[in-house]
Amino acid sequence: MATVAECPADDGLLLALMTAMTAELIVVHDLPPDVRPHPLDPASRYLLAHDGPRAIGCCAVEPIEPGVSELKRLFVAPDARGTDVPGALVAESERLARGQGARRLRLETARHQPAAIRLYERAGYRRVPNFPPHESDPESICYEKALG
């Protein structure tokens, strides 16, 4: 059974998963090999999923504007996909966002990521018009959920 807990932005296990996520995105999206994700707001908070001592998933919650946060960089190790880990990360990110005063949590994913789309829709996220900086990206799909 995996556990999900907050961790600092410089946690070594978090950074290793973020590196794995970037490497996967480079291949999946045919990006230049030296591409790096843009830095998140310093007020962002990070979650790490563990299976015992092993880190198997992560994500970030970035405050965007008063009452609105964005779920960013959700990544689960390939051998932990299809388990309860992705849903646990989403649920804990919602709790974290609510604790920061967010009333809505939004996210962006790619059209060709059907597992991610199913995860978000099962968790109650609804499609919304693409928000910046994704408004002109035909590969992006944006979602949002009201946090009650």
Per-residue pLDDT of the chain (148 residues; tens, 9 = 90+): 789 999 999 999 999 999 998 888 778 767 778 877 788 999 999 999 999 999 999 999 999 999 999 999 999 999 999 899 999 999 999 999 999 999 999 999 999 899 999 999 999 999 999 999 999 999 999 999 999 8
| Cα gap 15→17, rounded to integer Å | 5
User: Which of 68, 73, 75, 116 is CA-nearest to residue 94?
Assistant: 68
3-state secondary structure of 24: helix
How far apart (Å, rounded) are the C-alpha atoms in residues 65 and 61? 12
SS3 content of the chain, % helix, strand, coil (to 5): 30, 35, 35
Strand-pair category, 45-51 with 3-7: antiparallel
Domains and CATH numbers, the chain: 3-146 (3.40.630.30)
pTM over 0.85: yes
